[in-house]
């Protein structure tokens, strides 16, 4: 199996900072004034932490960022969201974003109602998932 031009074993042996991000992903995010980040249902610390970290980084770059995890979160996960950034799909209906990124999930069936409610008019969809 090939991954970014190498075998998985070769990629795992590298420093993660040496693995290039595909140019279309960088372009879609860099050129977008607004970004919607969507995490998976049944969220875990990996999903919540990665999504919020990316949101903070993009906001620091001057982008308008919304975050959707369309499921309830346990108490310890809610405490990670200190700025109360995470919203449900229902809360975000009617919004418009230049780019949407699925974070920690590659299957649109695992993003709850965000699939039907928020992905209808998406022009740029980026998948950021270490599982694939």
pLDDT in tens, 11-54: 555 676 777 888 888 899 999 999 999 999 999 999 999 999 99
pTM: 0.86
The answer to whether the beta carbons of residues 101 and 37 sit under 8 Å apart is: yes
3-state secondary structure of 87: strand
Whole-angstrom CA distances from 85 to 35, 81, 92 are 13, 6, 12
Contact criterion met (CB below 8 Å) for 86 and 66: no
Single out the residue of 128, 100, 92, 129 nearest to residue 34, CA to CA: 100
């Amino acid at each position: 199996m090939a991954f970014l031009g190498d075998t998985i074993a070769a990629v795992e042996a590298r420093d993660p900072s040496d693995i290039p991000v595909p140019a279309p992903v960088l372009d879609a995010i860099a050129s977008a004034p607004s970004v919607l980040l969507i995490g998976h249902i049944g969220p875990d610390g990996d999903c919540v932490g990665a999504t919020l970290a990316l949101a903070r980084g993009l906001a620091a770059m001057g982008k308008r960022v919304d975050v959707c995890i369309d499921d309830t979160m346990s108490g310890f996960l809610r405490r990670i969201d200190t700025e109360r950034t995470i919203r449900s799909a229902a809360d975000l209906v009617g919004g418009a974003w230049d780019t949407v990124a699925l974070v920690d999930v590659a299957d649109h069936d695992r993003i709850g109602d965000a699939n039907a409610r928020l992905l209808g008019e998406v022009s740029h969809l980026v998948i950021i998932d270490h599982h694939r």
